[in-house]
Amino acid sequence: MTQLTLGKALNAGLRQAMRDDDKVVLMGEDIGKLGGVFRITDGLLDEFGAKRVIDTPLAESGIVGTAVGLAFRGYRPVIEIQFDGFIYPGFDQIVSQVAKLHYRTQGRVKMPITIRVPWAGGIGAAEHHSESPEAYFVHTAGLRVIAVSNPQDAYRCLRQAIASDDPVLFFEPKRLYHHKGEVDLDAPLADAPPMGLAHVVRSGSDATLITYGAMVRTALDAAEAAEDEGISLEVIDLRSLSPVDYETVSASVRRTGRVVVAHEASREAGVAAEVIASITEFCFEYLEAAPVRVTGHDIPYPPAKLEKFHLPDLDRILDAVDRVLDRPNSVSDLRGVQL
């Protein structure tokens, strides 16, 4: 095992994927000589050359459109959207072409495109640099959507995404780029669990806490704090947002009978709403209380000095746990909706 930051793990995953398959090409703004804004592609230009690590113009629609053409010709393009909020100019290409071409051609054309997205908040960035757009893509049939939370998954799931014949939106929590963890660089990819499986990162018996991305660390902190009060929380890292591993989720809910789902994206029509609707459909007779969402607010992402009030934190998660356990002193607004 090797200690790597999440950013270095992604770099290692890209390097290994390019060594394994010379049809893997990288494209994006400033990814070559600069190595990317977050240095995720650092050193790859020197090793693989400018024909495989391609600096592009500032034109997301053009980047995605070029990737579609490369996929038609048998390549496996990996494109970087420099910041999450920059993905919208390429949105039409992603949902109208990348997601649908395999279906429209009755399976004759594959779209093995991986779209890497530095994602979400917590770094004090400027406007358009701290978005959480995952629900748009979860709603789009034909796309896989992955959100990693640790260096091991970053390394392994990125390689799996690149090797997949499906198009993958690969969300990387930018505020965790410098967080370290153990990574097994030598384990065969064929032996790794599929990227579509959820991961129970902490076992518990009183309630199930479901989340993904950077919120996994917050959820684990909340579970540790709850343990001091005698509450046992099971924490699930979804990893795959489309498709969701409802087998793992349902098995947990049937044991605990109580559910909290947390994410930093806005509440309205977010991933938490879909997960809770499905849990209610699959596990209704096992539920001891109504599931609760803990999310970002339904506002444009706030200025850096206010983002701590927008991002779900330990206290908001513990309040939700109190609500599903019917404990006193939970905080609600005038409509009875979680603050």
What's the token pair of residue 211?
């989340």
| Rg, Å, the chain Cα set | 20
CA–CA dist 172, 193 (Å, integer):
19
Edge-to-edge, what's the strand order for the sheet holding 240-242?
Answer: 53-55, 24-28, 76-80, 114-119, 168-173, 144-147, 240-242
What's the token pair of residue 90?
């390429």
CA–CA dist 124, 302 (Å, integer):
10
- Nearest Cα to Cα of residue 310 among 71, 53, 124, 45: 124
Name the amino acid, one letter, at 179.
H
CB-based contact 264:311 (threshold 8 Å): yes
> Among residues 102, 129, 199, 310, which one is catalytic?
129
CB-based contact 240:164 (threshold 8 Å): no
Q: Is 128 annotated as catalytic? A: no
Look-up: residue for tokens 């384990």? 187
Q: What is the dihedral of CA 167, 129, 263, 223, to 10 degrees?
A: 120
User: What angle in degrees, to the nearest 10, is found between the helix axes of 6-20 and 151-163?
Assistant: 30
Question: Which residues form the catalytic set?
Answer: 129
